Structure 1
Amino acid sequence: MEPDSFRMHLNSLIQGLRNVTFMIQKQKAELVGYEDWYTRFVKEVGPKPLMRWAVKSRNRVVKESDLELLSEAKIRWVGNWAVKEERKFTFPPRMSSREMLGAIFADPGNPRMGVVTVSRRWVDKALPDWELLHATREVFIELSRLLHTAHAAADVSLCALDDREPSCVTPVIDEQPLACMDINAGVRQEHLDLEDGFGIREVEHYLKRDERRVEKARERYGSFSVTASNPIEAAPQLMESARMVLKKDKCHMPMMWSYRGGKIIDMISPNFADQNGKYLMFHRLADRVESLRADGVVLVIEAWWAQGEALDAQGQVIPPRDRKDRKEVLHVAAATRDGERRSLLAPFSRTKLGKIVFEETITGPDEELEVLGPFLPIFERWKQMDEREERWSS
């Protein structure tokens, strides 16, 4: 919300990104195999629209004028897992979110149900389909790969870089996206429940690993390990650990693990107060998957489940939570960006004394289980990332 400062730092960033290749070219005599790997980089990355935009933008900033920036608001309506609509509106940079919503809902044709999310965006007229923080992050990732190769060619592992702010910028040249470069940051979004008429505040709490607590957990639940590096293969192992937790605690908090390149890169426990909050949460998890460039996810959650489909008098599907034949289940669902899917359902009941009694775990095609609805926003996001050819390169 500080357009002048944002423009100044953006111009500085674009020049800095372009200077990376100039610096490497200057030192090519000291870099083993330079002609091979640098030529390969130029052939692979040079034709990409974002990289061409970065080069042209640097020339514009240095030789001509600032980028022509537009302030946009992207509005997302979420009705349920599958019902979603997105529109883009252009507003003056200093217009408040309340004023934006007032202008949007002055149109009686806009939805009045579900959850609406307002995301602030800066766009260059020369790159209308990309938000600028997203675009510059993608360029940064490509150049980090190049720098990583150059460091290996120079036989050095660290830059002569002092401590920086934010702290994720270190002397280690990493090929992964920096944590601080979240393209879907909660601070740039506001959420409103249209049915109840109140805002939904997004809060994140970060926990550091504490070995004393880990030992207490082992004493309480017993020992288990997840050895699989693939989300699909990890699902049965996580089901076993989830059973141990549910038997002991009589409940299991929602958990989602994100994978990239065969490694767990993120673990989160998403919580929500009601059904609209749940719909919003899984769309925000899709945002998180995109920001992390995750290529696999595993979800563990307690849920209601009923076999088959039931319709009400109006022909609408009755959700399992509202059916008399519903069952409580422990649900472990896994999916990868390449299209692999796996669902495990462990129905359970509670005795009068509160003991958890499990039935046999149900597995089968996702179409039959009909339980992967929460993953639909993530599947859609992966499709969008594929269309942009946006992948993590190891």
Structure 2
Amino acid sequence: MRDLSALLKNCGEAYFSPDLFRRNLNQFLQTSRTVTFIIQKNKGEIRDYENWYSVNVLKPWAADEIMTWAKDARNVVEKEGDLEMHSTLSPSVIYSHFSEEDFVITVNRPMLLRADVSMIAKMVKTLLPPGIADAAVLCIRRRWVANTLPKHELIWALTYIYASLYRVCNDLSRHLGGGMDPSVPNPTHLDPDMNDVSRTRYIKLGKPHVHSMASHVIRRDEDFVPPARLLSLRNELQRQSKPTNIEETVELIARMAEANFLEYGNHVPMTFLYNDQWDIIDNLTTSFADQSDKFLYARYVASRASYLRAFAVVSVGEAWIRDLKSGPDQPIRNMKIIGERLTVVGAAIDESSKSIEWNIVRPDDKGAPTLERIGQATEQQTPFFIQPIVEAMQNARLPKS
């Protein structure tokens, strides 16, 4: 797995060198197959091997489009030579949380390569209502695609393969009573968006400059001592049973969110991804500069949720409540703020969902803000801003024809 992680990193570094990218891709596919070969070779040392292998490898991968492609592509590389693939460089416009609403625009290559920001932004603004255009983003991305896997960008597909094998090895380690070797990188540390592999660039139409997206790993501060309020809550929650559904999970996170807000007077945006055993498999935080950032962040989390094959998502954060009466001609940032809320929202791949909200009350004397809980009912519909994440989780688990 360490070798495979190095090859995945090499593929990213060679993304703009076609011949080198091809060689690293071929080697990655060949090496990926050796992971299961080694497991099979040592099956005599694995307790209840036949059942474990069926549950963790055969059944999950049987209808998995990408893992099936990986096996077939390796055979092509070994017996026939290189895979047929091609790259594209195209601009698309993002103006919502949903990728299916994006649209591609026609821009000549010299303009694209010059990154003539003001000219491109001016052209795109004519295609959308003013209020929507203000938060829209022009995305310029290069994509390598294999002819036999046309719906998926190749680096993302390789990350998915690595994450699938990592999950198998981690499950095997726990099955044998051990743990995953920490020298093997977690898939999220090799995330192609995190490492800017494709050098995707974004032009916010409301602020026409070229932007890129970056993320960083934040290590836990081992010397941190929680305040008494949080320490008491942690000890209480540790005595409780682990949640087994989205309602229980949202209730648990809500208790933590409320305690954190009352302790510090605010709550940074946080997102938690869960597996089907209700273990946290990923957690992220961010800082939004504007509405555009919210569109991009939702897509980024959806990408991670997909290759991690997450089962559920919970989002925590503060939100302004705005007066929408002015309609689509008014940028959302200029709409009147009529309230503030702290929200905890969760949803699972079966589209069960739950939200808990509080009004944030700020005293006139500038004292510490307080919370008034206003919602506890199970939602009938998944909230729109996490729907793309739920759809990504569903697509990663549904059989592909």
* TM range, smaller chain: 0.7 to 0.9
**Map of 2:191 onto structure 1:** 182
Structure 2 distance, partners of 1:300, 1:250, is: 15
Is 2:290 the partner of 1:274? yes
Structure 1 residue 107: deviation in Å?
12
Comparing 5-14 with 183-192, greater Cα deviation is found at 183-192
Instruction: Provide closer, same or farther for how the CA distance between residues 350 and 55 of structure 1 changes in structure 2, counting only shifts above 3 A.
Output: closer
Structure 1 residue 337: deviation in Å?
1.8
Amino acid at match of 2:148: A
Structure of greater Rg:
1
Structure 2 distance, partners of 1:84, 1:284, is: 15
Instruction: Provide closer, same or farther for how the CA distance between residues 131 and 84 of structure 1 changes in structure 2, counting only shifts above 3 A.
Output: closer
Q: List runs of 5+ in structure 2 lacking aligned partners.
A: 1-15
Contact 1:259/1:297, CA 8 A, preserved across alignment:
yes
**Map of 2:391 onto structure 1:** 380
Of 286, 296, 299 in structure 1, the residue corresponding to residue 312 of structure 2 is: 296
Structure 1 distance, partners of 2:106, 2:36, is: 35
**Map of 2:10 onto structure 1:** none
Structure 2-normalised TM-score? 0.72
**Map of 2:4 onto structure 1:** none
**Map of 1:120 onto structure 2:** 142
2:268 partner SS: coil
Contact 1:46/1:52, CA 8 A, preserved across alignment:
yes
Instruction: Provide closer, same or farther for how the CA distance between residues 134 and 97 of structure 1 changes in structure 2, counting only shifts above 3 A.
Output: farther
Using CA pairs under 8 Å that are at least 6 residues apart, name the structure with larger relative contact order, 1 or 2. Answer: 2
**Map of 2:341 onto structure 1:** 329
Amino acid at match of 2:217: Y
Of 105, 113, 125 in structure 2, the residue corresponding to residue 99 of structure 1 is: 113
Structure 2 distance, partners of 1:329, 1:148, is: 39
Please give the residue correspondences for 1:29-178 in structure 2 after superposition, counting only pairs within 5 Å: 45=61, 49-73=65-89, 75-82=91-98, 85-86=101-102, 98-99=112-113, 111=127, 113=133, 114-140=136-162, 167-169=183-185, 178=187
1:72 partner SS: strand
Instruction: Provide closer, same or farther for how the CA distance between residues 384 and 371 of structure 1 changes in structure 2, counting only shifts above 3 A.
Output: closer
Structure 1 distance, partners of 2:85, 2:143, is: 10
2:141 partner SS: strand
Please give the residue correspondences for 1:219-234 in structure 2 after superposition, counting only pairs within 5 Å: 219=228, 223-225=232-234, 226=237, 228-229=242-243, 230-234=245-249
1:212 partner SS: coil
Comparing 103-112 with 333-342, greater Cα deviation is found at 103-112
Of 209, 231, 239 in structure 2, the residue corresponding to residue 198 of structure 1 is: 209
Amino acid at match of 2:153: E
Structure 1 residue 7: deviation in Å?
1.0
Instruction: Provide closer, same or farther for how the CA distance between residues 117 and 288 of structure 1 changes in structure 2, counting only shifts above 3 A.
Output: farther
**Deviations 1:339-362, CA, capped at 9 Å, x for gaps:** 111111111321122232333432
Structure 1 residue 233: deviation in Å?
1.2
Amino acid at match of 1:218: P
Structure 2 distance, partners of 1:290, 1:81, is: 16
Structure 1 distance, partners of 2:45, 2:65, is: 30
Q: What do you get for the CA RMSD once the two structures are aligned?
A: 4.5
1:197 partner SS: strand
Of 374, 377, 393 in structure 2, the residue corresponding to residue 361 of structure 1 is: 374
Structure 1-normalised TM-score? 0.73
Contact 2:69/2:149, CA 8 A, preserved across alignment:
yes
Contact 1:303/1:329, CA 8 A, preserved across alignment:
yes
**Map of 1:255 onto structure 2:** 270
Structure 2 distance, partners of 1:150, 1:357, is: 47
Is 2:361 the partner of 1:349? yes
Amino acid at match of 1:273: A
**Map of 1:209 onto structure 2:** 220
Instruction: Provide closer, same or farther for how the CA distance between residues 125 and 360 of structure 1 changes in structure 2, counting only shifts above 3 A.
Output: closer
**Count of matched residue positions in the alignment of Structure 1 and Structure 2:** 366
Instruction: Provide closer, same or farther for how the CA distance between residues 123 and 371 of structure 1 changes in structure 2, counting only shifts above 3 A.
Output: closer
Instruction: Provide closer, same or farther for how the CA distance between residues 9 and 289 of structure 1 changes in structure 2, counting only shifts above 3 A.
Output: same
Q: List runs of 5+ in structure 1 lacking aligned partners.
A: 170-176
Contact 2:359/2:373, CA 8 A, preserved across alignment:
yes
Amino acid at match of 1:243: E
Contact 1:184/1:291, CA 8 A, preserved across alignment:
no
Structure 2 distance, partners of 1:286, 1:158, is: 27
Structure 1 residue 106: deviation in Å?
11
Is 2:21 the partner of 1:6? yes
Amino acid at match of 1:129: K
Amino acid at match of 1:63: K
Structure 1 distance, partners of 2:29, 2:213, is: 31
Contact 2:312/2:390, CA 8 A, preserved across alignment:
no
Amino acid at match of 2:29: I
Structure 1 residue 119: deviation in Å?
3.4
Percent identity reads 26
